[in-house]
Amino acid sequence: MLIRLFYSKKCKECMSLCEVIHNEKISDMITFICIDNYTSKQLETLVFKQVPVIVITQDDNKPMIYEGAIKCSQWLNAFTYNKRKMIAKEVNEKRKQIQKSQIEDRQNFGGALEYNDSEMNGISDEYSYCNTDLPQPKSFVNVGNEGATKIFTIANNENKISNITLKKTLKETEINRENDKRDFIKIMEQKQISAVINSTMS
C-alpha cells in the first residue's frame, strides 16, 4: 500500500496536517509530495483540484482519494485510531502470553511471584478509562482531567478522640495503675507478715 500526501507549503491546512502526521509518528509511512514547484502542465495532469490530498494506491485497485482538509483529517483520525487499536491488541496479546507463562511458572515451581510486571506495570483492560475500547497504560490520565484521578481520604471525625480527652484518659489510666500497684504491695506485705507470724508461732 502506497500513501501519498500532496500538499503546498503556502497552505495553512496542509502544514497543520503535516504537523499532526509528524506528531503521530507515522510520517515514515507516508510519501510527502510538495506541488509548489509544479509547472502548470504538471498541475493539469493531477486528478484533484485542491490540497491537501491523500491518495492511497494498493495493488491494482482504484486509488482512493481524500481531497480537502476535512476529508484528509477524517482519514487521518481513522488511520491513527486503527493503528493504535492494532498496537494495543498486539500488546494485549503479549500481556496474555506473559500471564500464561507466569501461571505455568507458578504451577511448576510453586508459590507466588514477588512482582508481576504485567499486573503492576502493564496496561488496563480493553474496556477501561475511555469511551473507545482501547487498553491504556495504568498510569494513563486524560489531559485536563488529572485531578479526577487523585485519591481523597476523608477524615472520619465522628468517633475521633480529642487531645484533651486523650490526655485525660491517659492520666486516669496512670493513676489507676499506681493505685493498683500500691494495693498489690500492701497485700504482699500483709501476706509476708502473716507468713512470718505463723512460722514463729509454730
Confidence at residue 129, expressed as pLDDT on a 0 to 100 scale = 46
- State pLDDT tens for residues 2-15: 999 999 999 999 99
Name the pTM for this structure. 0.48
Confidence of residue 21 (pLDDT cuts 50, 70, 90): very high
Q: Please say whether the structural domain 2-87 has been given the CATH code 3.40.30.10.
A: yes
Q: Where are the domains of the chain?
A: 2-87
C-alpha grid cell, residue 113: 511471584
**Higher-pLDDT residue of 66, 160:** 66
Tens digits of residue pLDDT in 70-97: 999 999 999 998 888 888 888 888 878 8
Judged against a pLDDT cut of 60, whether residue 128 lies above it is answered with no
- Residues 128-149 as b/e (b if ≥16 CB within 10 A, e otherwise) read ebeeeebbbeeeeeeeeeeeee
Cα separation, 24 vs 32, whole angstroms: 15
